[in-house]
Amino acid sequence: FDMFVLAFIERFFRPIYKKDDVVLGKKLGEGSFGSVYRVSLARKPSSKPADLVLKKATEYGAVEIWMNERVRRACANSCADFLYGFRETSSKKGAEYWLLWRFEGEATLADLMQSREFPYNVESLILREVQDLPKGLDRENRIILTIMRQLLFALDGLHSTGIVHRDIKPQNIIFSEGSRAFKIIDLGAAADLRVGINYIPKEFLLDPRYAAPEQYIMSTQTPSAPSAPVATALSPVLWQLNLPDRFDIYSVGLIFLQMAFPGLRSDNSLIQFNRQLKRCDYDLVSWRQSVEPRAGPELRKGFELLDLDGGIGWELLTSMVRFKARQRISAKTALAHPYFDREGLLALSFIQ
């Protein structure tokens, strides 16, 4: 059955919102491509107003609506709940795109990581039983592991759908209070490779703090934006050849690094880390050799955490943050990495 027929039928039965239904609340974000507000929306005066998020976007809004519609059908749990997007023409600035999502929660991973309490401030949000373990590396590692598993799960959903996000960073990961899980937001820079939407990467959209070293997600040898039917036939092959999903894996690897190393959580220290890593030809092992001998307590703590259980965390990290995209692990393979078996091991060690 044709996807577009399905989409049409769904559109027909889904509620349609318009500008006048929306009551603007607090501004949540302001980027060069649009502004984001918390809004409430009442369709009937009697009903409880819905708690939503509105993005008023510029020209990239059209792509973002496309991506969110795809995600809604193919991997809804990976991203914030998308309700509806439309073109708004009555603004003085010309056409805008308006996008509406459910308000998932107050905090992004960036907000949570900024707290001195991290990762303990996340523990009761995502783990059912709070632990008897004393505060320490084991307990922190278990929380970080759970966050990583949720991020990779969401990312695997996107990648299996054929979408590369290209702007994975803590600011674009929202904690969903309803799902008690982290979800991905901000598909404004995403590429849908199965149909060639936004196929040519716009480098200027990429955040240099979290971007992988490759400038182009698809090699420059590949033909430029093919038309939809050709792209659908070709792209699985192109995907295999170029592994564009590994761009996101590098970014999520940097998030893993920041969670493990408190000293690398600020913007400035991440920028400094990126410089150091570049000097080491993007080889984490030589970076470690260069910094470990004169490491302060915050760096040492990160290495200790990753070295638990024979260094299984360090092994996972180094398989994500690599110069060559094809040497990076995929989200799906990473989910099967022994690092994530730790919980089972821990449970066993309690029984013994």
* Positions marked active-site: 167
- Range in contact with ligand ADP (rule: CB under 6 A) among 12-20, 97-105, 220-228, 236-244: 97-105
201's tokens: 């990467």
Q: Find the part of the chain contacting ligand ADP (CB under 6 A) among 8-16, 89-97, 167-175, 232-240.
A: 167-175
Please answer whether residues 23 and 9 qualify as being in contact, where contact means their C-beta atoms are separated by less than 8 angstroms: no
- Crossing angle of the two packed helices 342-351 and 297-320, in degrees rounded to 10: 120
Q: Which residue in the block uniquely carries the two structure tokens 């005066």? A: 45
Decide which of Mg ion, ligand ADP, none touches 174; Cβ closer than 5 to 8 Å per partner kind.
Answer: ligand ADP
Query: For ligand ADP, which residue of 188, 196, 244, 313 counts as binding (CB under 6 A)?
Result: 188
Taking CB within 5 to 8 Å according to partner kind, which of ligand ADP, Mg ion, none is near residue 80? ligand ADP
Q: Which residue, 174 or 308, is less far from ligand ADP as judged by CB?
A: 174
SS3 (DSSP) at 23 = strand
Core vs surface per residue 109-118: b (16+ CB within 10 A) or e:
bbbbbeeeeb
Judging by DSSP bridges, how do beta strands 163-164 and 96-102 pair with one another?
unpaired
171 binds ligand ADP (CB under 6 A): yes
Of all residues in the shown chain, the one whose CB is closest to Mg ion is 186
68 binds Mg ion (CB under 5 A): no
* Contact between 60 and ligand ADP per CB under 6 A: no
State the Cα–Cα distance between residues 8 and 344, nearest whole angstrom: 46
Figure out which of the listed residues 65, 80, 158, 334 binds ligand ADP, where binding follows CB under 6 A: 80
Rank residues 168 and 195 by Cβ distance to Mg ion and give the closer one.
168
The H or E element that residue 32 is part of is: none
Task: Name the β-bridge partners of 102.
Answer: 52
Give the closest residue to 207 by CA, choosing from 255, 166, 177. 166
By CB under 6 A, name the binding residues for ligand ADP.
28-29, 31, 33-34, 36, 53, 55, 80, 101-105, 108, 171-172, 174, 185-186, 188
